[in-house]
Amino acid sequence: RVQAVESGGGLVQPGGSLRLSCEVSGIRFADLTMGWFRQAAGKEREGIVCMIDPSTITYSSDSMKGRFTISRDNSKNTLYLQMDNLKPEDTAMYYCTDCAWYSDGYYPDYNFWGQGTQVTVSS
């Protein structure tokens, strides 16, 4: 079965950076369109970004474009999310998941995800 393990979260001050990782097993990672979503306490999940390759990336929201950068290493079955200039409103549990095409781009398809990694932005 497919397993995803997210890591790299933590407590960071506003303006700080974190790099999240997601290692996937049980499926041919290189064939997947992968992405990230987050869920803050008491709120609905929110898609962040999806990626096939460096030339095919879709951000779900402009608010994270320019601050969040997705990348992947298919040789390590691992997806990354570099997060810079973090804001308190970025506080949430972050998850990786598969993505699919939805009319105007790739967006999270939520067929699998891991336990998540907590990101807390606070001074």
User: How do residues 12-66 score in pLDDT, each as one tens digit?
Assistant: 999 999 999 999 999 999 999 999 999 999 999 999 999 998 889 999 888 888 9
pLDDT in the model for residue 61:
85
CA distance 15 to 13: 6
- Evaluate if residue 73 carries a pLDDT over 90: yes
For the segment 76-93, what is each residue's pLDDT rounded down to a tens digit? 999 999 999 999 999 999
- Evaluate if residue 103 carries a pLDDT over 90: no
CA distance 36 to 108: 7
Tokens encoding 71? 């990348």
Q: What is the mean pLDDT of the chain?
A: 95
CA distance 59 to 76: 23
Q: Give percent of the chain above pLDDT 90.
A: 88
Tokens encoding 19? 């790099």
Q: For the chain, where are the E strands, in sequence order?
A: 3-7, 10-12, 18-25, 34-39, 46-53, 56-59, 68-73, 78-83, 92-101, 106-108, 117-121
